[in-house]
Amino acid sequence: MTTKPKDILDSPSNPATSSGMQSLLKPSEIPRILTIGVRTYWRWVSSGRLPHPDLREGRVVRWRRETVDTWLDSRCW
């Protein structure tokens, strides 16, 4: 049986649902949170500047909000 990404996100073993974490963020939500443009987001992705995703299953990547907030707080602007 093949597991689909949606099944992983909805699974009771998913850390986001089992430990009461906030829902996972999609890549399309990251530029809005960081207040950057979409092109800047993709440049940061290709350069490895963003934090590693908390979930990576095939082409599906997701971040916990606290991962993004912690990364943002640690940046020296």
- What tens digit of pLDDT does each residue of 21-67 get? 458 999 999 999 999 999 999 999 899 999 999 999 999 999 999 99
Q: Radius of gyration (Cα) for the chain, nearest Å?
A: 13
Indicate the pLDDT class of residue 11, thresholds 50, 70 and 90. Answer: low
Q: In this structure, are residues 64 and 21 in contact, taking their beta carbons and an 8 Å threshold?
A: yes
Is residue 7 predicted with pLDDT exceeding 90?
no
Residue 29 has φ and ψ, to the nearest 5°, of -90, -20
In this structure, what DSSP letter does residue 4 have? Answer: P
Q: What is the residue extent of each domain of the chain?
A: 5-74
